[in-house]
Amino acid sequence: MYQLIPAYRSERLLDTWIKGIKGGKNVLWYNSTAEDIRKADPDTAILPVGSTEQHGSHLPVGTDFIIAGAVAKGVAEKMGAYLLPTIPISNCREHMGKKGSVWMNPDTFYNMIKDILLSLKEQGFKKIIYIQAHGGIFTGTPAIREVNARNP
């Protein structure tokens, strides 16, 4: 069950997220040791991705990556998966005229996603769940397709 958070106060959204980042009992969080992860031997890793951009005067610029991380945490708790840190910056330039919006070159983002997926595959993860919380991240899916095509 997920808690609905009133969007009229960004502090509430952030406070709820910060309080929730300890992970559930089955979550291998990014603050787990390599030994913790080795012993648990999860077959699934979860990669949450969002953007840093303006969302009006009532929400923080981190809204997209906060949502991605919260959804990913819920999935990880149910699956006992390894939860990676949320990637907070994407290739989206939609709001670049607004202060606080940050983007990276699409090729950089594409290669970063591809490299992360390959490093997880190399470590023996059989399933990788990519959770994207912004519609304008157009280079994530092609990176996933390329990794899948070249590494069946």
Q: Which residues pair with 14 in a beta bridge?
A: none
Burial of 151 (0-12, 13-18, 19+ CB in 10 A): exposed
Measured CA to CA, the distance from residue 135 to residue 146 in angstroms comes to 20
State the pLDDT at residue 26: 62
Establish if 73 belongs to a structural domain. yes
Place of tokens 């591809």: 114
Instruction: Look at residue 2 and tell me if it is in a domain.
Output: no
- For the chain, what is the domain count? 1
- Asked if the structure places residue 8 within a domain, the reply is no
Q: Two tokens at 51?
A: 């953007």
At position 134, the amino acid (one-letter code) is: H
Going from the C-alpha of 84 to that of each of 65, 68, 128, 148, the distances in angstroms are 13, 11, 10, 20
Q: What is the pLDDT of residues 16-59, one digit of tens each?
A: 444 444 444 567 777 788 898 888 899 999 999 988 887 778 88
10 has a pLDDT exceeding 70: no
> Model-level pTM?
0.78
Cα 114 to Cα 145: distance, rounded to the nearest angstrom? 9
CATH number (domain holding residue 77)? 3.40.50.10310
- Is residue 16 a part of any domain in this protein? no
Residue 150 has pLDDT above 70, yes or no: yes
Give residue-wise pLDDT tens across range 51-107.
888 777 888 888 888 999 999 988 888 888 999 999 988 877 666 677 878 888 899
pLDDT for residue 18:
41
Instruction: For residue 62, give its domain range.
Output: 27-150
β-bridge partners, 44: 127
The DSSP code for 121 is H
In a domain, residue 4? The reply is no
Residue 6 lies in a domain: no
